[in-house]
Amino acid sequence: MAEIIFSALLIMLMRICDVTIGTVRIILVSQGRKYWAALAGFFEVLIWIFAMRYIVQHMENIVNLFGYATGFAIGNIFGISIEQRIGLGFTQLNIISMHFSDKIANALRVAKHGVTIIPGEGAVGGVSILMIVIPRKKQKEVIKLIESIDPEAFISVQPSVPFRGFIHGARK
């Protein structure tokens, strides 16, 4: 019985490792970090091959299949959690504040973030749309700054892949 549980746990651990690496690799690929993605892919597939070899050799044990599936699920959670902590790449924030656009823009600039102000038209009249591209790892900090000035501000967040030009905060 102990051997059956050990076998399933070993498979689960290998799947956690390869799926975690695979999740981060997919994000690296989407950001064009080809060499890091290739390195991650090497280890992902190497671990996966060992896991599959072990599973095929112990196919009679159904608990192994549950270990495989559990490792896959947990690996996704770990991979996403690790990537969120690392905060790879850039993000674009669009901010609409009814009354505090200038104050938010000034605070962001003092914090060494470039801000572009775009005039817009809302349901109740003119508004300013503040656009900022920042490293993703600074996203929480910047949103906290915006909310400290205007907790009612509308903020949209989307991934950004800068193609060319100068990113103000990148030279800190």
CB 88 within 8 A of CB 27: yes
Per-residue pLDDT at 69: 93
* Residues facing residue 130 across a β-bridge: 95, 117
Distances (CA, A) of 23 to 12, 30, 36, 48, 151: 16, 11, 13, 13, 34
pTM exceeds 0.75, yes or no = no
**Integer Rg of the chain from CA:** 23
Looking at the fold, whether 47 and 70 belong to one and the same domain comes out as yes
Which domain-ending residue is among 86, 120, 148?
86
* Three-state secondary-structure class, residue 6: helix
Which of 34, 68, 86 is where one domain is finished?
Answer: 86
pLDDT, averaged in runs of 10, over the chain (172 residues):
89 94 90 92 94 85 90 94 84 94 96 93 87 92 96 94 66 41
Q: Is the domain of 32 the same as that of 103?
A: no
Model pLDDT, residue 166? 65
Q: What pLDDT is attached to residue 92?
A: 95
Q: Which two tokens stand for residue 64?
A: 């192994």
Domain span at residue 6?
2-86
CA 172 vs CA 100, 106, 111, 140: distances in Å = 26, 18, 10, 18
Q: Check: CB of residue 15 under 8 Å from CB of residue 67.
A: yes
Distance set, CA 112 to CA 105, 108, 109, 132, 145 (Å):
11, 6, 5, 11, 12
Same domain flag for 112 and 69:
no
Do 8 and 77 lie in one domain? The reply is yes
